[in-house]
Amino acid sequence: MKSKSKQAKPARRILIIYTGGTIGMAHGRKDKTLVPLDFRQIAEQLPELSRLHCHLRFYAFSEPIDSSNVHPVFWQRLAAVIEKNYPKYDGFVVLHGTDTMAYTASALSFMFENLSKPIILTGSQVPLGTIRTDARRNLITAVEIASAAGAIPEVCIYFNNFLYRGNRSEKFTSSKFDAFQSLNYPPLAEAGVHIVYLQEADKKKKAKKMKVHYGFNTAVALIKLFPGLAPEVLQTMLSDTRLRGVVFETFGSGNAPSDKKFLAVLKAASKRGLLLVNVSQCSGGRVEQGKYETSIHLKEIGMISGADMTTEATLVKLMFLLAQRKGHATVKKQMQKNLRGELTA
C-alpha cells in the first residue's frame, strides 16, 4: 500500500506597501543624489525574495512621502489600503521612513481592532541601492516573518534582527543599524541563524471580527519639562482654547516642579477641561504618580498617568481617543487602560 504524500502548505500571500523613506531610494546615474526607486525593480534588487514560500504583490504610493512629513491623514490613507486588501492577503509589510515609524506603528495599532494578520513596518538607515545596506536584510526578514505560519497578528516594527511591538517602540539613534528599541516590552522575535519567536500569537483575536477605526484629533501638544520652565511661559502654551489635550514629558518616574505658581497653571488648565497626560522623559521605566512628593501634586490636580507608554504611543492614543467623540471622563479612563498592548496595566 502506497503511503500518501504530505500536501505542501499553500504559499502565503503578502502585500508589500511602499510609502517612502530611505529604503526605497537609490543613487541617480548622473549626479549620484538619492532618488526614489521604481519598485517594479525590486525583484531585480532582491532576487532572494523569490526563494521565500510566499506570493508577493507590491503597492506603492503614487507620491512617496518623507517620514518627516507624515500626518494623521497619511495614517488613514495607509490604513485604507490595508483594509481594502485585508481579505486578499495573509500579511502586510509596510516600507516606511524611520523618523516617524514608531508614530505610524502606534496609529495603526489603535486603528485596527481585533487584528488577526501581521502588519510589519520596516525600513533602513542606508538605501537599498548601496553596497553596505541594512535594507536588504530588513526587508527579506520582515517578509519572511509576515509569511510564517502562525505569524504574530500585531502591528510590529522589524529592524536589525528584532521584531518589536509597534506601539512599544521608539527610534533612539540615527547613525546605527539598530535604530529602534523597546525598553518596556520584550521583543516578539529575534532573527539570528534562525528566527526565534519569543512570544506566542494571541489566538483569541482570530475569533473576533476585525474593525478599523478612522479619525485623529490633532488639537494636542507635547511639552517637555526642563529646569527653568517659567510658569508664565507654560501658561502661554496652555492658553490656546483649541487645545484638547497635552502630553507632558516629566522627570524620572513622573516628577515635576512643586512650585506653587507652576502647579496653579496646571490646575487651572485641568479645571478648564484640558486633558493632561504624564509620561517620563526616560525611555525605560514607568510613571508612578505619588511615589515622590514632586509627583503627588500632579495626581491631585487630575493629571493622567501614562504608565510605561512611549511618548509616541501616548500622543497618538490621545489623538485617537479624542476623535472617537467620547466624553472627557471616558477618554481619561481609556488613556489609562491597555487597549492594544501599549501599556502594562
Residue 256 grid cell:
515635576
22 has catalytic annotation = yes
Q: What pLDDT was estimated at residue 4?
A: 46
Residues 6 or more apart from 286 whose CB is under 8 A from it? 184, 253, 280, 307, 308, 344
Q: What pLDDT was estimated at residue 209?
A: 93
Q: What pLDDT was estimated at residue 1?
A: 44
How far is residue 50's CA from residue 63's CA, in Å, rounded to a whole number?
Answer: 27
How far is residue 344's CA from residue 155's CA, in Å, rounded to a whole number?
Answer: 17
Residue 30 grid cell:
548622473
Q: What pLDDT was estimated at residue 25?
A: 74
Q: What pLDDT was estimated at residue 224?
A: 98
Q: What pLDDT was estimated at residue 149?
A: 78
CATH 3.40.640.10 is the classification of domain 12-212: no
Q: Do domains 12-212 and 220-335 have the same CATH topology?
A: yes
- Using CA of residue 125, residue 129, residue 134, residue 139, what is the dihedral sign? positive
The residues of the chain scoring below 50 in pLDDT are 1-5
SS3 label, residue 78? helix
pTM of the model: 0.93
Question: Would you kindly state where each structural domain of the chain is located, as residue ranges?
Answer: 12-212, 220-335
Q: What pLDDT was estimated at residue 31?
A: 65
Q: What pLDDT was estimated at residue 2?
A: 45
How far is residue 337's CA from residue 56's CA, in Å, rounded to a whole number?
Answer: 37
- Using CA of residue 23, residue 24, residue 27, residue 31, what is the dihedral sign? negative
Q: SS3 breakdown of the chain: % helix, strand, coil, rounded to 5? A: 35, 20, 45
How far is residue 6's CA from residue 320's CA, in Å, rounded to a whole number?
Answer: 47
Per annotation, catalytic residue among 19, 22, 100, 314: 22
Q: What pLDDT was estimated at residue 98?
A: 96
Q: What pLDDT was estimated at residue 125?
A: 92
pLDDT in tens, 308-323: 999 999 999 999 999 9
Looking at the domain covering 220-335, what would its CATH class be?
Answer: alpha beta
Side-chain half-sphere exposure of 235, counting CA atoms within 13 A? 10
Q: What pLDDT was estimated at residue 204?
A: 56
